[in-house]
Amino acid sequence: MYKDQTLSELQGAVFRCVKCGMCRSICPVFQIEGSEASVARGRLALIEEFTRDKLKAGDNLARVLSSCIMCGRCQANCPNLVEVVKLIRSARAELVRFMGMPLSRKLIMELFYSRKRLYFAFKVGSWLQKFLLRRIPKERGLRLRYPIPLLNRGIAFPPIARDFFLHRYSSTRIAPNERMKVGFFAGCLINFVLPEIGISLLEVLTKNGVSVVVPAEQGCCGLPAFFSGMTELANRLNQKNLEAFQGLDIDVIVTACPTCGEALKEYYELVNKRGEKIEVLDISQFLWRYKKLFSFPKFTEGTLTYHDPCHLKHILGIYEEPRQLLKMIADGKFVEMDEADLCCGFGGLYSFFHSQTASAINKRKMKNIKATGANIVVTACPGCLIYLRHGIQQEKLPVKAKHLIEVLKG
């Protein structure tokens, strides 16, 4: 269940920051914007003032808090283990309580609760994109054809899929020679934008004797609503997903999106048919743990490099498994990039609302990818994949971006 910290809990936790400033060399936003208000130390100082009633809730504080991309790199490197992401998120929820939320954003978020309305909105979007957007070089993304208020013309929109993953693939896929059975939580980006990731996952698992249950009634994990301060909506979504997965005959749920993985691991209590807790594993963890069950085709198309999704590495601590899997198939053709765990700039809605900073962060990532000389950059997050492809197109790099499971499928 999603839960907010109270103001006094928030005040107590903010005190853990000893203001050493080590986060200044770590934060991707500070590297671009360079002001104290754009780094964990400065943001926490303002939250402290707010909790002591020395700073009023208002647009300035809201702007400072919304300018954090929530990558978690600072907290993963903080000597005092300050939970920066949780604190900023809780402060955002407090601000929503004081100031409310813009109606347009509230309506968009509420869409995610109603399955029917959400599917209808994406169907309409998929139809409208033919007229409102134009394709920028093949398969890479879409650009606004006409100016639309509030939307930046420089943003690359990922095309909405024609067939949504859950429409076509929700059911139980029984593997020939079944050795295990798992559940799959798809998440919105795989469902509506990149269904090929889910299709690859089903293929890899079932080919190797792992049956997969994909409940049709699953929906948004709720974390984007929770991060925006809409805790009540996040819990309604949580409840729906619990109903979809509760009581299934599985011990494990796999995810291919670190945001969904984080939500399910940290905020859900899932129980199977036998009343036992269901374990949630990122697909890289699952495949590495059970690698003896799997045979993967060798990678022969050049050189691979890997970009760490922020929430996978900095929040869930998963970074060895994807690398081990890639090294296993690449026969020495794997090369590390500099700052592999630096954000790509996506951050969900961050890249829409803070497109200039997001773009500048992305440029740095592109420079690091280019320096490796690799022709494939692999990641383990659909959101990163969208933004890496955007950057590659902008910089005209001779590189393809792929999800780990697509590379393992061969």
Q: Which of 18, 148, 151, 216 is in the footprint of ligand SF4 by CB under 6 A?
A: 18
Q: Which of 13, 73, 225, 377 is in the footprint of ligand SF4 by CB under 6 A?
A: 73
Contact status, residue 173 vs residue 214, Cβ threshold 8 Å: yes
In the bound state with ligand SF4, the residue whose beta carbon lies nearer, of 70 and 256, is 70
Q: What angle do the packed helices 7-14 and 84-99 form, to 10 degrees?
A: 140
Q: Which of 40, 64, 109, 377 is in the footprint of ligand SF4 by CB under 6 A?
A: 40
Cβ neighbours around 240 below 10 Å, total: 16
> What are the C-alpha distances in Å from 377 to residues 84, 150, 178, 307, 373?
29, 32, 32, 7, 10
Q: Which stretch binds ligand SF4 (CB under 6 A): 11-19, 115-123, 150-158, 384-392?
A: 11-19
> What would the x/- binding string for ligand SF4 be over residues 374 to 393, using CB under 6 A?
--------------------
d(CA 335, CA 289): 23
Q: Which of 6, 25, 60, 80 is in the footprint of ligand SF4 by CB under 6 A?
A: 80
Rounded to a whole number of angstroms, the minimum distance from the CB of residue 160 to ligand SF4 is 28
d(CA 384, CA 396): 18
Q: Which of 21, 58, 154, 297 is in the footprint of ligand SF4 by CB under 6 A?
A: 21
d(CA 214, CA 197): 14
d(CA 332, CA 334): 6
Q: Which stretch binds ligand SF4 (CB under 6 A): 40-48, 187-195, 210-218, 369-377?
A: 40-48
In the bound state with ligand SF4, the residue whose beta carbon lies nearer, of 218 and 351, is 351
Q: Is 20 exposed, middle or buried (0-12, 13-18, 19+ CB in 10 A)?
A: exposed
Structure tokens that stand for 212 in this block: 């997969």
Rounded to a whole number of angstroms, the minimum distance from the CB of residue 365 to ligand SF4 is 14
Rounded to a whole number of angstroms, the minimum distance from the CB of residue 16 to ligand SF4 is 7
154 binds ligand SF4 (CB under 6 A): no
316 binds ligand SF4 (CB under 6 A): no
In the bound state with ligand SF4, the residue whose beta carbon lies nearer, of 27 and 281, is 27
Q: Which of 3, 15, 20, 301 is in the footprint of ligand SF4 by CB under 6 A?
A: 20
85 binds ligand SF4 (CB under 6 A): yes
SS (H, E, C) 176-205: CCCCEEEEEECCHHHHHHCHHHHHHHHHHH
Q: Which of 10, 14, 37, 41 is in the footprint of ligand SF4 by CB under 6 A?
A: 41
Q: Which stretch binds ligand SF4 (CB under 6 A): 35-43, 45-53, 96-104, 260-268?
A: 35-43
Q: Is 342 exposed, middle or buried (0-12, 13-18, 19+ CB in 10 A)?
A: buried
In the bound state with ligand SF4, the residue whose beta carbon lies nearer, of 223 and 407, is 223
Structure tokens that stand for 380 in this block: 């383990």
d(CA 26, CA 39): 9
In the bound state with ligand SF4, the residue whose beta carbon lies nearer, of 87 and 96, is 87
Q: Which stretch binds ligand SF4 (CB under 6 A): 71-79, 175-183, 238-246, 291-299?
A: 71-79
In the bound state with ligand SF4, the residue whose beta carbon lies nearer, of 78 and 260, is 78
Cβ neighbours around 203 below 10 Å, total: 16
Q: Which of 10, 13, 23, 388 is in the footprint of ligand SF4 by CB under 6 A?
A: 23
Q: Which of 10, 68, 109, 366 is in the footprint of ligand SF4 by CB under 6 A?
A: 68
Q: Which of 7, 11, 22, 143 is in the footprint of ligand SF4 by CB under 6 A?
A: 22
d(CA 163, CA 263): 25
Which residue has tokens 């139980």?
172
The H or E element containing residue 227 is helix 223-227
Q: Which stretch binds ligand SF4 (CB under 6 A): 76-84, 122-130, 148-156, 384-392?
A: 76-84
Most distant CA pair in the chain: distance in Å? 65
d(CA 97, CA 256): 33
74 binds ligand SF4 (CB under 6 A): yes
Rounded to a whole number of angstroms, the minimum distance from the CB of residue 249 to ligand SF4 is 39
d(CA 56, CA 215): 45
Contact status, residue 89 vs residue 227, Cβ threshold 8 Å: yes
Q: Which of residues 97-116 bind ligand SF4 (CB under 6 A)?
A: none
Structure tokens that stand for 332 in this block: 């020495």
Helix, strand or coil, per DSSP, at residue 36:
helix
Contacts with ligand SF4, residue ranges (CB under 6 A): 17-23, 26-29, 39-41, 44, 68-74, 78, 80, 82, 84-85
